[in-house]
Each structure stands twice: as structure tokens, then as C-alpha cells.
Amino acid sequence: MTTFARHERALDDYIVKLEFRSVNHRYLDVTCRMPRWMSPLEERIKKLVRRFHERGKVDLTVSFEGEEPVASRFRPRTEQVRAYLYAVSQLKKGLELKGDLGVSDLLLLFRDAIEPEQEDIDIEGFWGFLSKELEELLKQARSQAEREGEALQSDLERHLAILKRLIDAIEERKEKVLPEQKAALRERILSTLNGTPLSEERLLQEFAILADRLDITEELVRARSHIDRFLELLGEQDAVGRKLDFLLQELFREINTMASKAQDAQVSQMVVEAKGEVEKLREQVQNII
């Protein structure tokens, strides 16, 4: 699940623009992208993010439109450039190279030839302003994450309700199909014997073997148990994504076993639908950490 929020505040000389992006992550991992002069505020910003968010890989960007609160100047690193040029001349002489190094070449190859130099700024005063704006951004992001979480939970519960109905229908069909299969078994046995008498005891044994082979009671019980546990985990605040995914794997296995045991076309069709619902749940669970 991805969360995005944006907040702006216009002042006399500039507009401060704040952006929040977050993707699923088991722990909270915050990356701040902002001008270098704001580096002293990075830990405060991260601490503020932790007040509003417990988990997620967060990218928080602070940028400015217009003049920044601190004016930038630039100064050449003359001594370093001189040493660099001397090294280049020695390289040229030693390897008998031709060609001249122009200013554009120098700036391309030696990017630290000119470095920024900022004026002093009232960092505490700026933090007093910025922290309030960041709180607005983080509240907005949290509200969006909560709305998305509620929508996700509602969607998961909808698929679980469909799954429950399918399992109920499979159980109902199971009660009907066994007598039908017993009758079919009787016909097959009598046809094979071709009029030879068969004891009732032997027939009952065959029926018992058939019933045991086709019985899916345990699979139905476990499937319902997995669904109930899934719903319980949805209500917990901890990281439950892996547990939910494991439950769905187990649920898929139980449903698959029902199809192989039941040997009934209607049950097989309902199992196909149930598998589809489990796959939809697994897709959605990937959005839960």
C-alpha cells in the first residue's frame, strides 16, 4: 500500500513545498530530501514522523519555490583546483597527451571546483514554522493511510464472506452427494456381480470405505477455523501480513483437498470459485505488513 500527501505554505518571498511518500515496510525507515542547510533539522523531522507513523519506508521531501530562507553564495576552491590542474599537466606530460582543458571540462570533471556557501539563518525560528507545517502534512498522510486501511479491510471482509458462503454450500452439497454416490456404488457392484448375491454386510463395508474416502468434514472445520483466525488478525495492530499469507496458503490447501476428495462436479465448481476468492485475498494481503 502506498501513501502520498502534499502540503504547501506560501510566504512573502517563497513557497515551502512538503511531500510525503510511504510504501509498506515492516519497520519505520525515514529518508529526508531537503537543502543542505537544513541538515541540522533532519533528526527532529524524523522524530516528528515517528509521532504519526509506526511503520513504512518513508520519503519526505522539503523544497522551495522562489527565494529560499537562506541565500546561497558560491566560492571557488582555488587551492584544490590548482592541485588538480597540476596533476592533469603531469599526466599530460608523462603520457605525451595532447589537448587543452577548458573551464567547462574542468567543471565537468572536478565538480567540487566551486562549493556553495550559505549565510547564517535562524534555524530555531525556521523550525518553529516548519514543524507546524510538517504536522499538517503528517496528519494528512495518516488520514489517507487510515482511509486506505479501512477500505482494504472492508474488501478483505467481503471476500471472506463470499468464501464462507461457498464453504457452507460445499458442506450442504456434501450431505446430498453421499447418498447419490452410495446408490451409484450399489449399481456398479450389482452390475459387476451380474446377479450373484451380495451380503448386506459386505455392501455396508463398501459404503463405509466410500464414505471415509469422500469425507471432507475435517477440511471444512479447518477452513472455517482459518477464516475465523484471519478475521481476528485483521483486528490486531501488530504486523500480521506474513501470518495472513500463511493462513491463506493453509486455506488454499484445505479447499484443494475438498475437490480431490468430493469427486463431484458441483463441488469442483464451487472449489474453483473458492480458490479464486483466496487468490484475491492473497493479492490484497500483499498490501499488509
pLDDT at 119: 58
Domain with residue 32: its CATH number is: 3.30.230
**DSSP sequence for 170-220:** HHHHHHHHHHHHHHHHHHHHHHHHTT----HHHHHHHHHHHHHHH--HHHH
Please state the pTM of the whole predicted model: 0.66
Task: Compute CA distances 227 → 101, 203, 230, whole Å.
Answer: 72, 38, 5
Same domain, 235 and 155: yes
Number of domains in the chain: 3
Same domain, 61 and 22: yes
Q: Which of 90, 86, 66, 68 is nearest to 78 (CA)?
A: 86
The pairs formed by 140-146 with CB atoms below 8 angstroms and a separation of 24 or more are 140/5, 140/7, 140/20, 141/3, 141/4, 141/5, 141/20, 141/22, 141/52, 141/53, 142/52, 142/53, 144/3, 144/4, 144/5, 145/1, 145/3, 145/22, 145/53
Range of the domain at 20: 3-70+122-141
Cβ-contact 174, 216 below 8 angstroms: yes
pLDDT at 269: 92
Cell 519526505 sits on residue: 60
Same domain, 113 and 126: no
* b/e map 136-171, b = 16+ CB within 10 Å: ebbebbbebbeeeeeebeeebeebbebbbebbeebb
Same domain, 85 and 212: no
Same domain, 137 and 18: yes
Same domain, 29 and 99: no
Same domain, 209 and 177: yes
* Mean pLDDT, 10 residues at a time, the chain of 289 residues: 92 91 90 91 96 92 84 74 84 81 77 68 89 96 91 93 94 80 64 61 63 78 94 84 92 90 85 94 86
- Conformational region of residue 96, where left means phi above 0, alpha means psi within -120 to 50, and beta covers everything else: left
Same domain, 19 and 133: yes
Residue 227: how many other CB atoms lie within 10 Å = 19
Same domain, 15 and 110: no
DSSP 120: P
pLDDT at 198: 60
Same domain, 275 and 151: yes
